[in-house]
Structure 1
Amino acid sequence: MSRARKRQLGGIDQMPSGRWRVRIADPVTGARVSIGTFTTKAEAELAFAKALTSQDKGAWVAPSRGRTTLAEYAPEWLDTRLTSRGEVLRPKTRELYDSFLRLHILPALGDTALSRLSTSRVRSWHSRLLATGPGPSTAAKCYRLLRTMLNTAVEDGLLAVNPCSIKGAGVEPNEERSIPTLAEVDALADAIRVDLRALVLLAAFVGLRRGELLALTRRDIDLLHRTINVRVQRQEAKGGGHLITAPKTDAGRRRVVIPASLVPELEAHLERWAGSGPDGILFPGTKGGPLRICVWQREWTRTKAELGLPDVRLHDLRHVAGTLAASTGAGTKELMHRLGHASPRAALLYQHATAQRDAAIADAIDAQLAAGRAAPSASVLRIADR
């Protein structure tokens, strides 16, 4: 190796103690850093050659940066993490990541230096999480969070390679759940507090998410054209209060046609229960402000218990809407538009308006409701929420 290259990349020199010091240029900072001292010059030359080879392969990390622990790196990552749209993390997403780190990741791996996070160590952690942790779905979410965080650590020059390379560890198992029948949906709507009846019906027959339902105002409802304009969603912030935010994806912003049989229900609800004025909340609390999620959950739990349906989630009603729409012959793109699903091909899927076909889907749902309110078919077209 030429002297010029040694000067550029580092070098070997003898210390006053007689030991041989090896220094190499940090590819991130450009500064020369020591990788250790050695008894003989031959040992130093071997270490220097190995370090240069690792650099050429992009697998070298400065020892000082490699000592950063996962617990030290995680807060910085959370503070600087941006979404795919270049936005800071939403408060609820930040809270979720915080809980995953605090409860499931950092207790086992937090004290480990990033440079010592090996695939075998990650595999051991993941196996214990599956065996004794919160369940396979949460284990997959935690693994994906760790993998994403360590990808950034590689970009930051703190880690040579990402050790999260366990095949299938980030895949959530398909959860088989029975979908409520139309008779059960009717029973839930009849039994719940009367001012929440329309919320249940919109979830089951239009397919809106809870956050979308709670954010609706009078201006979003167009009964003349039988449409609901989904513009925003409502989330509760930690410590109380609420946030009105845009949907997580562009697909979430949509105008959905209402089955005609729901129009009288919404007319009655608007007349008696919704807030006043164009910005009046469609589903307000009893004191006129936003309906608290804890209040909704308490009423929903009471209603389910009375009917002997304790396992039904509000999100299961959204699956009812998807099943009904699929059974009309709606195509995948049409279903994705109606339910606000996203995909890697979202830009292509949502470039063209589907309002006319959406109205036909709503009319077909109406026909099913009028034809005896039979249970949804067992052959359900599932599209995972994004």
Structure 2
Amino acid sequence: MAGRPSLRIGQHGKITRKYLGGGIWLAQCRFRDTDGVTRRVQRLGPSDEHDKYGKLAADALIESLADRRPPSGVDSIGLDTLVMTLVDQHIERLAEDGRSARTLDTYRYTATKLAKFMAGVKVGEASAARLDAALRSMRSTHGAVMARQSRTLLRGALQLAVLNNVLGANPVRDVQAIKSKEQPKGAQALTADQLRDLLTKLRASEACRQRDLTDPITLLIATGLRRSELLALQWTDFDAGAGTISVTGKVIREKAKGLVRVDETKTAAGRRVIPLPAFAIATLTERRSLPYLGQQSVIFPSTNGTLRDPDNFAGQWRRIRDELGVPDISSHSFRKTVATLIDDAGLSARIGADHLGHAKVSMTQDRYMSRGRVHNQVADLLDEAVKGNSGPL
């Protein structure tokens, strides 16, 4: 004889009611918890002589069972669930996992744009073809970067449907990756001669001095820091005796909060101590002696003594670089320059990754160390191999 069919997780069996006297009923049932174990759950109803069939006890039991069900179970996600609802759930899960506030704000903004193309699409309607069409519309309207962010959001959102056994596979995996119509140029690295020339122009520029660009750009040249890391530097991070600067945080803009300094870096590898060249030590030592700038908690504050906005800082540099004769040099160019100089000196990619705060050495090699240069050493090496001990051919 077959036994009772197994309950699904989050499902309850038949509710039974037992009268205990005095207007009090006891409601009971079997319930399969999230750990897969089936347990007997019971609740007493309030004393009520008018409750002839134990409805109050049954209502109390059903209410208690709702609290035992997982928040994202099959009852909350189905084929009729809107895809954008899952996008919102995915972003909230990222927040629970500790994703940075800046990233979450970016994803929420992207989601508002994606909703124009996906607002009424349900999970059961989210075919690869329909998702591909929406992402291509995103690229046409808002650019390739936002389209790629949308693809990431949709993949995470529909994975929730897979996890809840609503979909057998994630349809986003069959959607072609979003590519830019134009190949990105990337930041341009400077040669050692160009760096020396730029430093001379920086120190001679009255406009740079008035906008307080000379010292922070000098530190970017000397360290290859990210803008957010540079503007988060505090005087307590500077050790003049050891000739080092410690990277302990970053400046970000949070929605509804404005600019904040957070004691975290982009990756775990971002928290690091950087040795400074002599010209950077001299710059910081002189800056700390100035009556206003040396009295602030951060090394490079705004004119009001508050945190300086990384985006505004980048805009100031873009407006002044034409005057200095370096129109194509972005603030990120200095970061790439440091990586390239490390490579030119024959230092390992691991040293470059540690200095720049990259979590993966491959990032330093693939994105930051310049490619396509002429390596005369290779020709010299082949000459030596062919020549051997017999002299030139």
TM-score if structure 1 supplies the norm length? Answer: 0.67
Among residues 236, 254, 278, which one is paired with 1:219 in the alignment?
A: 236
Between the two proteins, what is the percent identity of the paired residues?
A: 24
Does the CA-based 8 Å contact 2:87-2:154 persist in structure 1? no
Whole-Å separation in 2 of the counterparts to 1:158 and 1:302: 53
Displacement after TM superposition at 1:185 (Å): 6.0
User: How do residues 231-250 of structure 1 correspond to structure 2 at under 5 angstroms?
Assistant: 231-239=248-256, 241-245=258-262, 246-250=264-268
Does the CA-based 8 Å contact 1:28-1:157 persist in structure 2? no
Query: Which residue pairs with 1:76 in the alignment?
Result: 89
Find the residue that maps to 2:130 and give its secondary structure. Answer: helix
Among residues 174, 189, 195, which one is paired with 1:179 in the alignment?
A: 189
Query: Which residue pairs with 2:156 in the alignment?
Result: 148
Whole-Å separation in 1 of the counterparts to 2:130 and 2:157: 16
Does the CA-based 8 Å contact 1:236-1:242 persist in structure 2? yes
Q: What letter is aligned with 1:304? A: R
Find the residue that maps to 1:243 and give its secondary structure. Answer: strand
Distance change (3 Å), C-alpha of 1:75 and 1:137: closer
Query: Which residue pairs with 1:97 in the alignment?
Result: 107
Distance change (3 Å), C-alpha of 1:284 and 1:149: same
For structure 2, the 5+ residue unaligned runs are 14-73, 364-369, 375-393
Distance change (3 Å), C-alpha of 1:378 and 1:345: closer
Q: Do residues 128 (structure 1) and 137 (structure 2) align?
A: yes
Whole-Å separation in 2 of the counterparts to 1:196 and 1:144: 37
Query: Which residue pairs with 1:370 in the alignment?
Result: none
Query: Which residue pairs with 1:362 in the alignment?
Result: none
Distance change (3 Å), C-alpha of 1:30 and 1:144: same
Worse-matched range after superposition: 176-185 or 248-257: 176-185
For structure 1, the 5+ residue unaligned runs are 10-24, 33-60, 347-375, 381-386
Distance change (3 Å), C-alpha of 1:218 and 1:121: same
Give the CA RMSD over aligned residues.
3.4
Query: Which residue pairs with 1:67 in the alignment?
Result: 80
Does the CA-based 8 Å contact 1:223-1:263 persist in structure 2? yes
Distance change (3 Å), C-alpha of 1:377 and 1:152: closer
Q: Deviations over 1:263-283 (max 9, x none)?
A: 212222222276456x72100
Report runs of 4+ in structure 1 exceeding 4 Å deviation.
Answer: 61-64, 170-174, 273-277, 308-311
Distance change (3 Å), C-alpha of 1:184 and 1:156: farther
Among residues 272, 295, 309, which one is paired with 2:290 in the alignment?
A: 272
User: How do residues 187-198 of structure 1 correspond to structure 2 at under 5 angstroms?
Assistant: 187=201, 190-191=204-205, 192-193=208-209, 195-198=212-215
Distance change (3 Å), C-alpha of 1:189 and 1:311: farther
User: How do residues 252-331 of structure 1 correspond to structure 2 at under 5 angstroms?
Assistant: 252-272=270-290, 275-276=293-294, 280-293=297-310, 295-307=312-324, 309-331=326-348
Q: What letter is aligned with 1:133? A: T
Displacement after TM superposition at 1:255 (Å): 0.4
Does the CA-based 8 Å contact 2:95-2:104 persist in structure 1? no
Whole-Å separation in 1 of the counterparts to 2:142 and 2:270: 29
Distance change (3 Å), C-alpha of 1:160 and 1:82: farther
Q: Deviations over 1:291-329 (max 9, x none)?
A: 234642442232124345455321222111211222111
Query: Which residue pairs with 1:40 in the alignment?
Result: none
Does the CA-based 8 Å contact 2:245-2:274 persist in structure 1? yes
Whole-Å separation in 2 of the counterparts to 1:31 and 1:345: 52
Whole-Å separation in 1 of the counterparts to 2:225 and 2:77: 51
Query: Which residue pairs with 1:29 in the alignment?
Result: 10
Query: Which residue pairs with 1:336 in the alignment?
Result: 353
Distance change (3 Å), C-alpha of 1:268 and 1:198: same
Whole-Å separation in 1 of the counterparts to 2:179 and 2:216: 32
TM-score if structure 2 supplies the norm length? Answer: 0.66
Query: Which residue pairs with 2:168 in the alignment?
Result: 160
Whole-Å separation in 2 of the counterparts to 1:345 and 1:224: 33
Whole-Å separation in 2 of the counterparts to 1:292 and 1:63: 41
